[in-house]
Amino acid sequence: MKNNTNIQPIDALFIGFESQENLGLRSITALLEKEGFHTALEPYKPGDPSNVINAVKTYAPRLIGFSIIFQFTLNKFAELVAILRESGVVAHFTVGGHFPSLRPKEVLDALPQVDSVVRFEGEFTVVELLRKLYQPELWHSIDGLAFRRGSEIVLNTPRELISDLDLLPPPTRSQPHFLTRGIRVASMLASRGCLYNCSFCSIRQFYGSPPGRLKRSRKPEAVAAEMQDLYERWGVTFFNFQDDDFSAKSPEQRRWVEAFLNVLKKSGLAEQVKWKISCRVDDVDKDLFVRYRDHGLIAVYLGVESGNPTGLKTLNKYVTVEQNLEAIETLKEIGLAFNMGFMLFDPDSTVETVQKNIDFLRQVTGGGTCPVNFCKMLPYAGTPIEKRLQKEGRLKGTLSQPDYDFLDPRLDWYALFTATVFRFHNFDPLGLVERLGTALFDKVLVQAFEDTPWVKEYEKALQKLTAQANAVALETLEKGLRFVASRDVDTLKADWSLLGYLANKEWRVEIEIQKKLDRVLEEYNPDLLRSFVQEYSRRFG
């Protein structure tokens, strides 16, 4: 790497996932550039480190920062940093994100090639680290840093959260991503933090560990000004807000929302752009969301999580099943597209609660407005549920893949069955959830930006396929649950192979729906179909 004649030396290179813009890294690079440092950002695609290696060759950075937001990606980044060190890279390696912030010692132990961890909000910590990079004797004075000192790992005092987010420059931007139909999209952040404390979520722990306010918002005028700039400079017409909870119920946040909508209206953006938010079900107030819609909101990610009272209590959601249902019906009624987070399993799951979750999913997805998607709640680092399971002696798995057993051992077998049958369906970019969800959102974009006469037929065809996929998936889940519930563990093990018939039926139906979806896309959006075919060819030849 040292022999590259085309080296363009910079101070810092940052590596992270960029399926959506990584606003954390982009905020850090923006501040560094303002402070006179030269930086670059390179997306990381697990399994193919070639672009990262080439970037390191080109830039010869003094510091390389890795964004490890989720702990299940730890092993992928471990492979990457090992490859870079084996290639002779001597830059300072630092990591940041939710997981390293909450588990700095464990991460540094797991990644021996890494020199430090930038904990919690990283902008000013990285600036100070770069200024003192070649003075390790001063690292102890850098708030928010964890680092190696010989065989010792030193945890400095956490840096106070940034009280005024408007002091930060806007995130570094590159050419915008494209949605279908050439629509340009940008990720946005109007606030940081969350006022709630769901047991499965590390956001509260991330923002609650350092001193400072749990939730801080930018000025509405600043958010709108950034949107206006991206609209005028890049032609961005869709904004994906990545706020952990955009529409919090506090009086202060409600005043913020009212001011933001007023600014959108006065600037003309309400008629020019569309946007999406994430929120809780108890944020969904019909009158307010009608105003959102009338100011450009077209889609919502809804944190539903569970369809039974026991699960909602375990997850510390402080909402009811009835509130979940009401929020979903409200969004349907006022014409806002939605998808939702949902956990079929949690540590207190029983056969009865899983059945209630299946019944809930059948009730809210029967019309095909969104595909059935679900997961098992996992005990991520620093969360209340991790601490509880550890205290109960039920925490198992590895640092990057924590897990637990259910109190009813039959459910462990059922969870294995669902993971085996639905892993591709739920989580793969070519699975039905992703493909149907992308097509449904394409329909939403057509309605929002084109409103062509055929959009109703497109919608009807997609909802029919989604309803069919949902019905079959829920039938498979229910039959599998009945199979498991009717046997003791020993009999279940002996009869396990019988579930293969149920799995094969599910997969055969999914293939048929995929083919039907291809025909629908061939008629209404050939470019989207082509992108799926290209991804398939890239991966499977």
| 79-115 pLDDT, tens digit each | 999 999 999 999 999 999 999 999 999 999 999 999 9
Cα separation, 448 vs 180, whole angstroms: 13
pLDDT tier at 476 (50, 70, 90 boundaries)? very high
Cα separation, 12 vs 32, whole angstroms: 9
Share of the chain above pLDDT 90, in %: 92
Q: How many CA atoms lie within 13 A of 83 on its CB side?
A: 16
Average pLDDT over residues 514-524: 98
**Residue type present at position 129:** L
Cα separation, 117 vs 125, whole angstroms: 10
pLDDT tier at 252 (50, 70, 90 boundaries)? confident
Kindly provide the residue ranges of all beta strands, DSSP E only, lying in 160-269, ordered along the sequence.
177-178, 184-188, 191-192, 216-217, 236-241
Alpha-helical runs (H) found in 343-408: 351-365, 384-392
Distances in Å between the alpha carbon of 509 and those of 299, 372, 465, 477, 506? 29, 15, 11, 14, 5
Map out the domains of the chain with their CATH numbers.
Answer: 12-155 (3.40.50.2300), 175-407 (3.20.20.70), 408-541 (no CATH)
Residue 521 CA, chain-centre distance (Å), reads: 26
The whole model's pTM is what?
A: 0.95
Average pLDDT over residues 353-381: 97
Average pLDDT over residues 157-170: 97
DSSP assignment letter at 174: -
Reading the block at residue 407, the tokens are 């109190």
Query: Under a CB-based contact definition with an 8 Å cutoff, are residues 205 and 239 in contact?
Result: no
| 118-162 pLDDT, tens digit each | 999 999 999 999 999 999 999 999 999 999 999 999 999 999 999
Cα separation, 130 vs 462, whole angstroms: 51
Cα separation, 305 vs 315, whole angstroms: 8
Q: Is the pLDDT of residue 6 over 80?
A: no
Cα separation, 341 vs 372, whole angstroms: 10
Predicted confidence at residue 1, as pLDDT, reads: 45
Strand partners, 239: 186, 275
Q: Residue 296, by phi and psi: left (phi above 0), alpha (psi -120 to 50) or beta? A: left
Query: Which helix H or strand E contains 338, and what residues bound it?
Result: strand 337-345
Residue in this structure with the two tokens 């009835």, named with its chain if needed: 322
Cα separation, 519 vs 461, whole angstroms: 10
Q: Which comes out higher in pLDDT, residue 178 or 260?
A: 260
- Please give the radius of gyration of the chain, using alpha carbons only, rounded to the nearest integer: 24
pLDDT tier at 5 (50, 70, 90 boundaries)? low
Q: In the chain, what's the furthest Cα-to-Cα distance?
A: 69
Predicted confidence at residue 18, as pLDDT, reads: 87
Helices 321-334 + 351-365 axis angle, to 10: 10
Average pLDDT over residues 208-225: 96
The Cβ of residue 131 has, within 10 Å, a number of other Cβ atoms equal to 13
Average pLDDT over residues 317-322: 97
Closest CA to 196 of 217, 218, 214: 214
Predicted confidence at residue 2, as pLDDT, reads: 47
Query: Under a CB-based contact definition with an 8 Å cutoff, are residues 29 and 41 in contact?
Result: yes
Helices 499-524 + 455-485 axis angle, to 10: 170
| 12-48 pLDDT, tens digit each | 999 999 888 999 999 999 999 999 999 999 999 888 8
Q: Is the pLDDT of residue 4 over 70?
A: no
| The Cα angle at residue 62 between residues 56 and 67, in degrees rounded to 5 | 65
| 272-291 pLDDT, tens digit each | 999 999 999 999 999 999 99
First to last CA, the chain: 32
Reading the block at residue 128, the tokens are 């100070």
* Averaged pLDDT of the chain: 95
Report the sign of the C-alpha dihedral through residues 496, 500, 501, 506, in that order. positive
Average pLDDT over residues 231-245: 96
